[in-house]
Copies of this chain bind each other. A is one copy, B any other.
Amino acid sequence: MARLRQERAVRTREKIVLAAASVFEERGFARASISEILARAGVTKGALYFHFPSKEALAQGVMAAQGDALELPGGTAGLQNLIDLTLYLAGALQRDPLFRAGVRLAVEQAAFGMRDTTPYQLWIEAFGVQLVAAKERGEMWPHVEPERIARLLVGAYSGIQLLSKFYTDRADLPERVAEMWRCLLPGIAVPGMVAHLRIDEPLAALSSVPEGGLRPAPVPAGGEPVS
């Protein structure tokens, strides 16, 4: 019984986070209303406040869960995997509502008085794992420090996606991320490695996927998508 209740609580929380993400993404934080989030989630006010005592807590929940609905590409950790991951994320920013909302809130959070580094730390750690492996495999220059490069990449990526959003509604984001890599790789990877890394192939595959098309939206483990 206790486990059933726990599972139900997890599903309810996921429903609320997905509903909040869709409302935050459409309206922005200031104009997002709790009643609209309740309606989309199909939960009671009590359930919502049990999980998230304030609108700020909801925003924090969405920021922290931004990657939960993504099916990150697998493969051996290293530079190629990291490049593939960043190009996959460019496609996800064009399509995935939870990721879009989480990134939007993370960038705009100071406008509503928040300062939460969790959403950035999440990606710094994910990128860092790939870079540590790359370094161990001898893919990078010896002086390159994985943690510092991970932070540089997450910072640069955050700004590049922001400009892409303002200029082209993120239509050119995969191309801009590929360009970032073409400029950065010679300063990070050893020459023999640079020649082997594919930047354009996954890009072509991603940008040929129409908005909302081809692949079904990923469903988070144990949860139901809120439409």
Binding site for B on A (CB under 8 A): 28-30, 104, 107-108, 110-113, 115-117, 120, 148-149, 151-152, 154-167, 176, 179-180, 182-188
Contact = CB atoms under 8 A, between A and B. Distances in A.
Nearest to A164: B155
Count this chain's copies in the assembly: 2
Nearest to A184: B183
Nearest to A160: B155
A120 B158 contact: no
Nearest to A144: B183
Contact of A166 (B29, B120, B149, B180): B120
A163 B120 contact: yes
A128 to B, nearest CB: 14
Given A30-B112, A111-B108, A151 B163 contact: yes
Contacts of A154: 159, 163
A162 B163 contact: no
A31 B90 CA distance: 33
Nearest to A145: B179
Contacts of A120: 163, 166-167
Contacts of A167: 117, 120
